[in-house]
Structure 1
């Protein structure tokens, strides 16, 4: 049975996994069309044609729905990271490619990037295990690459790889959020290219870590 067929079934007796998939597919549709800032459970309910209580039977809050939906988004980002590293033979060039992969992902999936920004807010909270697991896997992948760079004597030994991972994640998110907010000014007034700006950023970041 396909997901599209399941989306058309309006019954109270769907198996748990099928109903959860319905909800997440509907949430993905709402995110794509409305964005993270305008995402509401009411919009998911309207798209599915079910009672609001059906959603809360499976997810305790809007944050839980967003966290579950982000599992797919984070898995795609991890694939971007892996593909970027595989294309480079030199570890520091691969590190730079990792940073730029985040930008390429942002261009391809702007609504997922918006979701990440939204989930960075201080009051966001979710215990959805899939979200926690893929978040740790993504962080581990990036940190392990930094450790390989350290082992090869390419970046400073006194840098904590975990701290560096969070620093890179946070600064990437911040810079790309700034670029998105100021893109008209940057491109039309300052005549700067966003990709060139990100390349320079990645070069400066990597240069600051080099041994």
Structure 2
């Protein structure tokens, strides 16, 4: 028998906790008790938990209706699950039968979605602050090793603005140096 205590196993692989994720078929799935469950096979109690959570997100709920253009409540719950829990981040989305908080994830539609920042979860810091879409873009560009001039071009800002932007992001994230951004981004599944 193998001792796996030093490895982080995905949530839901060996227990009843669950991890939602989206893969190439662009549909939400759930890893739970070692099995992958497609959205259409979700337990009705889970659908109800998701629906209650969706309705509690009153500011965002209207966007799910618009996104699925009248396709019905199940389509709204599917879209909610996609937008709010779609990333496979090894942190359980379901713990002891309770639905966890929505999560920021690197959605493949980012940058091309009309509902970006409206229907999806923002990246919440331990301090309670949220990173803006621009701050997330800056973090990803910095984590990819781009120079300030290239970052400025990508963000459409002056190269002279990048250092102050960097300082603002580092203060929000509790980082000392620009070099810390890349490792922080990897630790937080942003790069």
TM band (smaller chain): 0.3 to 0.5
Q: TM-score, normalised by structure 2?
A: 0.32
Q: Which has the higher strand share?
A: 2
Q: TM-score, normalised by structure 1?
A: 0.30
Q: Which has the higher helix share?
A: 1
| Larger RCO of the pair (alpha carbons < 8 Å, separation 6+) | 1
Larger radius of gyration: 1
